[in-house]
Amino acid sequence: MGKKRKHSETLAPAPVKKNDESAPERPKRTLLGWKDKSEGEADKSKALSSSGFRNKEKVLVTCSRRISFRYRSLMLNMVSLLPHCKKDSKVEAKSSKGATLNELIELKGSNSCLFFECRKHKDLYMWMVKSPNGPSVKFLVKAVHAMEELKLTGNHLKGSRPLLTFSSNFDKDAHWKLLKEMLTQVFGIPKEHRKSKPYHDHVFVFSIVDEHIWFRNYQISVPHNESDKIAKGGLDKMTLIEVGPRFCLNPIKIFAGSFGGPTLYENPLYVSPNQIRALEKRNKAGKFAKKIKAKTRKKMHELSNPLEPDEFADMWKDDE
Amino acid sequence: MSLEEDIVSDDEMNMIDEDSATDSEAESLSDSDTENEITEKLAEPTKTAVYNRDGLLDKLQDISWPEDVDWTHKLTVEIDQGQAVDVNDDLAREMAFYTQALEGTRQAFGKLNEMGVNFLRPANYYAEMVKSDIHMEKVKSRLLHEKKQIEESEERRKARDNKRMAKEVQSQKMKERAKQKKDDIESVKKWRKQRQQSGFSDKAGEPELDFESGKSFQRGGGKKRPGVSPGDRSGGKGRPTSRMGNKKREFRDSKFGHGGRKGLSKQNTAETTNDFRGGFRGGRAGGNKRQKR
């Protein structure tokens, strides 16, 4: 049943467009079959035809096997935030995962993907991919706080479309521009998506601070009266309550294809967490070696520069 | 919930992270491994890093939506961040995000308002929320618990302060009382001196006042024994347990005693010194009694 509906939905816009060009008096085809024009639908189709654009974004959300529970709950939060996503079972994170995932994306009929890859039970990488012909971005995800944390007290409708706010420094460079476009497409819920709700009660924040993209999700609470209009001065009284999740994305690389292809961008400041850990370990391990080295150096120094014999050494011995 | 509270809670949440403050990001809550010495970024950007600007722009062209797309499809707002935000200052960072969201929402709502679309959720619109009711119940109970704890601690502090205050007040009062007493004594002394000087020193008329020692007008050192006669050494206990069961024994007990100090009853007092009625042998009362019998 569900599949049938989906099929019809994906097909729906094309005939509508054609109709408008050739025979405007013909009844429109809607999800529930052929119907006469009612005012609401007429409006809708008008809006559709005016721009000729319909956002058909579908996001596949999945994760690697052996993901830790914190990261998995982050993934589930993303699933609950994005009604236009499809969740799939875990994928083995091998070198061939790209091909598998591409196949999966095609199978699910989606055109983008969020893939959460956990390594060593510690490091979370997130792939954000446009399929089938790219680009794809690999992020390192840090500072993860899931929505379940009790300090985050907000709540909002499931499936309401978020407002996306970007900090202005997304426009300063080409790769940020590309990232902004991708984030807009992946995190923005398509208008009139069947699982979305027609109200706006939360806002996403994407902000570049220190070359990282920080994500926040706030609930909007505005005093408004029953006519759904903001009361006078309501905008000034508006407050935001954080809903979560929180995370911070550090872009590592941007590839031209989906899950592969030539590298378009490489973060010059990136150090992998493995390297950091190794350095830390080396610093710790160096302590004993350093001590021994210092000791031998001292010995060598003493041997090479012997003390002069003390001329007063047997001064008192003579007296006895 | 007000803005301040929200920010405070954010701050608390980041408290645990602060040991890894040198990182460009805060560590997650559970992993508290410190990476103090090692920063996450290279000090200098590597020269060999790929940057294909044309490729990036090409891709952007490929994926981007048509130019004339209605804003309602995107719902994006760009907000100027102002000056650079310090990442390691949790409060400033969160504040920057909050203001960005707030400004963005204001702009977006302004646009939506102009379009005349209903975009606010009516009060009677019930639908599934992102967080379940059970979870929100937990959140609520936690907030209440926190509030209660704060109240309790406040109360405790208040009680402590009150105690300290009461102590101070008490000591003040004591001091005042001592001073009052001293003044009173002083004044009486003065009065006495004046009286003596003016030649009014009538010994009989003047009561013997022993103010200096601080004692009041009590005789016998303030030791009162109800129901016991003045010479009684048994302290009134002789009577009920008298062994002879007669008055004589009682008397003797009271006179010679069953323990206690003997001395005073046999000593002469001012009255008995020149009183020879009882002869030399007996005391005044006992002797008399015996003779009479």
CA distance linking residue A294 with residue A272, whole number of Å: 32
Query: Do A159 and A186 form a contact (C-beta atoms < 8 A)?
Result: no
Helix (H) or strand (E) holding A293: helix A273-304
| CB of B55 less than 8 A from some CB of A | yes
Comparing CB atoms, the residue among B6, B38, B127 nearest residue A279 is B38
* Amino acid letter, residue A301: H
Residues within 8 A of B (CB atoms), A 61-90 only: 70, 80-81
Residue A196 lies in a domain: yes
Query: Do A116 and A75 form a contact (C-beta atoms < 8 A)?
Result: yes
Residue A197 lies in a domain: yes
| CB of A153 less than 8 A from some CB of B | yes
pLDDT value, residue A21: 47
Residue A244 lies in a domain: yes
| One domain for residues A18 and A122 | no
Residues within 8 A of A (CB atoms), B 70-129 only: 70, 72-81, 84-85, 87, 93, 96-98, 100-106, 108-110, 112-113, 118-123, 125, 127-129
pLDDT value, residue A238: 87
Residue A283 lies in a domain: no
Query: Do A251 and A139 form a contact (C-beta atoms < 8 A)?
Result: yes
Query: Tokens at residue B37, please?
Result: 């010495």
* Amino acid letter, residue B282: G
Residues within 8 A of A (CB atoms), B 177-216 only: none
| CB of A98 less than 8 A from some CB of B | no
No. of H helices and E strands in chain B? Answer: 8, 1
Query: Do A149 and A186 form a contact (C-beta atoms < 8 A)?
Result: no
| One domain for residues A18 and A69 | no
Residue A286 lies in a domain: no
Residue A170 lies in a domain: yes
Q: How many domains does chain A have?
A: 2
CA distance linking residue B167 with residue A301, whole number of Å: 71
Beta strands in A120-201 (DSSP E): 123-130, 136-145, 163-167
| One domain for residues A168 and A240 | yes
Residue B117 confidence class, pLDDT cut points 50, 70, 90: confident
The domain that holds A121 is classified in CATH as 3.40.50.10480
The per-residue pLDDT for range B79-111, each reduced to its tens digit, is 988 778 888 888 999 999 999 999 999 999 888
pLDDT value, residue B281: 57
CA distance linking residue A199 with residue B150, whole number of Å: 37
Angle at A59 between CA A54 and CA A64, to 5 degrees: 170
DSSP B258: S
CB–CB contact A188 B75 (8 Å): yes
Residue A268 lies in a domain: yes
| One domain for residues A121 and A262 | yes
Residue A249 lies in a domain: yes
| One domain for residues A172 and A224 | yes
Q: Which residue has the tokens 């019809």?
A: A8
Query: Do A17 and A49 form a contact (C-beta atoms < 8 A)?
Result: yes
CB–CB contact A155 B131 (8 Å): yes
| One domain for residues A97 and A19 | no
Domain ranges across chain B = 1-16+45-121, 226-256
pLDDT value, residue A266: 92
Residue B27 confidence class, pLDDT cut points 50, 70, 90: very low
CA distance linking residue B183 with residue B186, whole number of Å: 5
The residues near A259 (Cβ < 8 Å, ≥ 6 apart) are: A97, A98, A99, A101, A102, A127, A129, A136
Interface confidence: ipTM more than 0.90: no
| CB of A214 less than 8 A from some CB of B | yes
CB–CB contact B79 A166 (8 Å): yes
Please list the ranges in chain A whose pLDDT falls under 50: 1-3, 6, 8-23, 37-42, 45-46, 49
| CB of A144 less than 8 A from some CB of B | yes
The per-residue pLDDT for range B233-289, each reduced to its tens digit, is 666 665 555 455 688 888 887 777 776 666 677 777 888 788 777 665 544 444 444
CB–CB contact A226 B26 (8 Å): no
Here the contacts of B278-285 (C-beta below 8 Å, separation 24 or greater) are B283/B255
Which domain, by its residues, includes A42?
Answer: 14-51
Could you tell me the pTM of the whole model? 0.64
